[in-house]
Amino acid sequence: MADTGGDMVQQAVTSAVAVLGTVTDRDWRGVDAGRTAWSCRRTAEHVASCLLAYAGQLAGRAQDAYVPFEITLGGDGEDGLGPVGNDGVLHVLETTGALLTAAIRTTPREVRAFHPYPFRSAGREGFAAMGVAEVLLHTHDIAEGLGLAYEPPAGLCAYVLGTIFPHVQPAADPWRTLLWATGRGDLPGRAPVADWRWCNNLVIPAARLTLEGVTPRAAADLATGGDGGFDWVGGGPFEGTREAAGMTAKAYESGVHRPEFGLFVLVRHEDGRAIGGMGFHGAPGEDARAEIGYDLTEPARGHGYATEALRALADRALDREDVRSLFATVEKGNVSSQRVLERAGFVRVSEGGDEQFAYELRRP
């Protein structure tokens, strides 16, 4: 899966400027942007501020809060720029879009920077998708206020949904789905949305690696033979990871995907390369029990990575109120995998079938 985040931001900004550039002679200050409480001018400035802030988060590798700066447009008479017209606002929008595009393209895939919702960090794809969402949605608001027709490319909308709206079941029209998911429109068969948030992927730290939550977009790529945007060791991923990615993609399509109980790719700190997959077969049922599975690329086996990752994932899962136990099945002949489970604290509880053992780890 090629890195498309920077391209997506660039395409979104180009699309927005094309439509808004036709009405720069209109009064943007005296017209509200759609259903918002902001003027069209204030909304456009907000989009530019978001793009700059996201670029700053990535470039500055912010970890605990937003980098403390903001954008200010000229026009106070003391900066020599004079009043900034609507053309100038669009120029700023293009410039901040270019800055975010550059930050995305030059930031390593494994780098995370602070964003408050929901897991307090995002990677370059997350910041790209948030930037695209800001552009698309607020251009819609401005266009609505000014009486313009605006419909961005469907691929941009699908990119946003598949990256930061994993909890939203996709529909035939990605643009209408995105508008509905953000409280801006109706979708047949679905209740109106009042409160909404996007959802960046979850990452779980371990000593020598990070478990990176796989987005629905990346899962679909993995399931169909792609790399999911990861640099794999040893020709991976292996079949188990691809099957798990298919389960994630299917859950997303069915509207039942929960990111905390999806697939995670194991990424080594030392070189940023992926060495395997680990995750759940789905969310816990009424018995508060969840099934877990994993596989590693062959060169990564025998180094304790699976045990380390399994402990980190199990600890996080069992810290939740809706999980009381985890279980896993392993082939009787797979002694190394049995040892991984045992070292992580799992206990053999049954035969699990003619060719398998079943293991369980319960909350203390």
CATH 1.20.120 segments of the chain = 5-181
Query: Can you give the pLDDT at residue 354?
Result: 74
Q: How far, in whole angstroms, is CA 41 from its chain's centroid?
A: 29
Residue 219 tokens read as 């899962």
User: Model-level pTM?
Assistant: 0.95
pLDDT in tens, the chain (364 residues): 776 799 999 999 999 999 999 999 999 999 999 989 999 999 999 999 999 999 999 999 999 999 999 998 876 445 455 678 999 999 999 999 999 999 999 999 999 999 998 999 999 999 999 999 999 999 999 999 999 999 999 999 999 999 999 999 999 999 999 999 999 999 999 999 999 999 999 999 999 999 999 999 999 999 999 999 999 999 889 999 999 999 999 999 999 999 999 999 999 999 999 999 999 999 999 999 999 999 999 999 999 999 999 999 999 999 999 999 999 999 999 999 999 999 999 999 987 667 899 999 999 8
CA distance 24 to 36: 20
Query: Can you give the pLDDT at residue 167?
Result: 96
Range 103-107 contact pairs with CB under 8 angstroms and sequence separation of 24 or more? 103/54, 103/55, 103/58, 103/59, 103/127, 104/3, 104/5, 104/6, 104/9, 104/58, 104/128, 105/3, 105/5, 105/6, 107/58, 107/59
Q: How many CB atoms lie within 10 A of CB 61?
A: 12
Query: Can you give the pLDDT at residue 77?
Result: 46
With contact defined as beta carbons under 8 Å apart, do 344 and 361 qualify?
yes
- The domain at 203-362 falls in which architecture? 3-Layer(aba) Sandwich (3.40)
Q: H/E/C letters for each residue in the chain? A: CCCCHHHHHHHHHHHHHHHHHHHCCCCCCCCECCCCCCEHHHHHHHHHHHHHHHHHHHHHCCCCCCCCCCCCCCCCCCCCCCCCCHHHHHHHHHHHHHHHHHHHHHCCCCCCECCCCCCCCECHHHHHHHHHHHHHHHHHHHHHHHCCCCCCCHHHHHHHHHHHCCCCCCCCCHHHHHHHHCCCCCECCECCCCCCCCCCCCEEECCCEEEEECCHHHHHHHHCCCCCCCCECCCCCCHHHHHHHHHHHHHHHHCCCCHHHCEEEEEECCCCCEEEEEEECCCCCCCCEEEEEEEECHHHCCCCHHHHHHHHHHHHHHCCCCCCEEEEEEECCCHHHHHHHHHCCCEEEECCCCCEEEEEEECC
Query: Can you give the pLDDT at residue 76?
Result: 47
Nearest to residue 312, comparing CAs of 223, 197, 224, 211?
A: 211
Query: Can you give the pLDDT at residue 81?
Result: 55
The CATH fold of domain 5-181: Four Helix Bundle (Hemerythrin (Met), subunit A) (1.20.120)
Strand ordering across the sheet containing 325-331: 203-205, 209-213, 263-268, 274-280, 289-296, 325-331, 356-362, 347-350
Dihedral of the CA atoms 107, 109, 115, 119 (nearest 10)?
Answer: -170
CA distance 71 to 89: 12
Residue keyed to tokens 């002679």: 25
Query: Can you give the pLDDT at residue 235?
Result: 86
CA distances from 184 to 138, 141, 181 (A): 11, 9, 7
Query: Can you give the pLDDT at residue 170?
Result: 97
